[in-house]
A = this chain, B = another copy of it.
Amino acid sequence: MTHPSLDVLAIGDAIVDVIATAEDSFLTEEGLPKGSMRLIDAAEAKRLYGRMSQARETSGGSAANTMAGIAAMGGRAGFIGQVAKDQLGEIFAHDIRALGVEYRTPPIATDEPTGRCLILVTPDGQRTMNTFAGASHQLSAKALDAEQIRSAAILYLEAYLWVPDGPRAAMLEAIRIARSAGGKVAVTLSDIACIAKRRDSLLKLIADGSVDLLFANEMEIMALSDESDPDSALAAFADRVPLLVVTCSERGAIALERGRRVAVPAEWVDKVVDTTGAGDLFAAGFLFGQAQGRSLEDSLRLGSLAAAEIISHFGARPEADLRKLVA
């Protein structure tokens, strides 16, 4: 790869968020731990939706949100993810392309509709997610565009999609193509609930030297390392990935690169409205900074700024002009 045309190309869930406010008592009634993410089937999605208050729909998907953020900052981003031939699929494709993200995955006709994430936002701004993956988990290696993968400096993968066989096979094939073209591979651990089923295969991927950049929050890196405190967890991976970036909620973020540790505080936010997408946009800011050749510290700071913007309003796609924020 002599001159990449994309800064980052992501593979992830192609999902529309259905965002409703909910009281804490609703989470209790439903037995949902606040801040959690779970996968649900079509029947449960229908039942839960029927109990939710009026909602707003915005395009989502973790890695897709990250690409949206990079594009909104002026970076060159691409996305691979599967939607169905339906109205939610049209919404997803429209929104990501409208931001300038290169999105070529054709919609498929399947029994599964486009995936959606039923998000309950409590008065404290915390989000609790119920994901009906739908067509998103029908992604297969057939949907990959090898030329597009070779055109990207970084291939970015979300662990959410690491469990279904088809998407994982697609990701492994994409890693092979990317590495053979000299591209780097970044992985986000996505969610604590993802780790258990994915731990062995993710550790193998890391041991193989296939992961150049690992994103996690403290809980996730502790689960992956099987360490019970964050410092030990970070130490466990410091030598196993060239660059490790860990977010610590309101305490900021840390980067570890070949023995060097850089930390930045979180940005101040007047009112946290909806935390959905905070990690996704943090990754966007960091990746954009790296693509621009900025320092680790600057990249972390861009991540914190982008995360602060996203939690100050409903929805996980940027609303402010992120180019100004970058400047």
Contacts and interface: CB of A to CB of B under 8 A. Distances in A.
A54 B87 CA distance: 15
B95 A68 contact: no
Nearest to A89: B87
A91 B57 contact: yes
Nearest to A95: B54
A57 to B, nearest CB: 4
B59 A58 contact: no
A19 to B, nearest CB: 9
A50 B91 contact: no
A55 interface: yes
A50 B54 CA distance: 27
Interface in A81-114: 86-88, 91, 94-96, 98-99, 113
A237 interface: no
A53 interface: yes
Contact of A315 (B49, B56, B68, B94): B56
Contact of A57 (B52, B58, B86, B98): B58
Contact of A94 (B55, B86, B88, B96): B55
A95 B57 CA distance: 11
Interface in A130-185: none
B87 A55 contact: no
A127 interface: no
A54 B99 contact: yes
A317 interface: yes
Interface string A1-41: 00000000000000000001100000000000000000000
